[in-house]
């Protein structure tokens, strides 16, 4: 779990984290976001861009935005392959949710590939439920689930 083998913490993203975040993104997704997109989101929502750091190394991140109507939208979350299944994804989500609550955001939504059973299991364990299936959401034609959770 979090911090057992190494000292880990969740903190806000800083510009020096960009290379590590981009590397994790490329390792984690078949269609990674461009690095410039992370900087654009960070400029708009700096309080909603978090990293997991273990022993001084960035090993995961979570990025979200605040939308109109009091809704948060998780844009991307990933943990480096060697650091998965240690509770870091859960810790990142819980930290994001706390920030959403402080901002008065009452609902969270996210999209997840229907084949990503590990992520779906994590989200369900955190109280998220499937709202609907989005056909051909990803560039390769894979469907996604839109999942949501009420916070307030």
CATH code of the domain covering residue 109: 3.40.630.30
- The mean pLDDT value for 46-71 works out to 96
Structure tokens given for 106? 């009452």
Q: Can you give the residue range of the structural domain that contains 98?
A: 8-113
Work out the number of other CB atoms within 10 angstroms of the CB of residue 140.
9
> Does residue 138 belong to any structural domain of this protein?
no
Query: What average pLDDT does this structure show over 33-49?
Result: 95
Q: What's the domain count of the chain?
A: 1
Question: Is the torsion defined by CA of 111, 103, 78, 29 positive or negative?
Answer: positive
Would residue 144 count as lying in a domain? no
Q: What is the pLDDT of residue 3?
A: 42
Give the pLDDT confidence score for residue 6 in this predicted structure: 66
């Amino acid at each position: 779990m979090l911090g057992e083998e190494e000292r880990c913490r969740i903190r806000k993203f800083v510009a020096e984290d960009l290379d590590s975040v981009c590397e994790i993104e490329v390792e984690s997704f078949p269609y990674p976001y461009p690095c410039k997109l992370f900087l654009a989101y960070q400029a708009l929502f700096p309080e909603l861009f978090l990293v997991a750091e273990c022993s001084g190394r960035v090993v995961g991140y979570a990025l979200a935005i605040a939308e109109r109507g009091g809704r948060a939208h998780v844009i991307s979350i990933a943990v480096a392959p060697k650091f998965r299944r240690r509770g870091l994804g859960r810790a990142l989500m819980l930290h994001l949710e706390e920030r959403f609550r402080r901002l008065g955001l009452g609902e969270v939504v996210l999209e997840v590939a229907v084949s990503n059973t590990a992520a779906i299991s994590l989200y369900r364990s955190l109280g998220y439920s499937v709202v609907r299936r989005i056909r051909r959401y990803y560039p390769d034609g894979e469907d996604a689930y839109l999942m949501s959770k009420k916070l307030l």
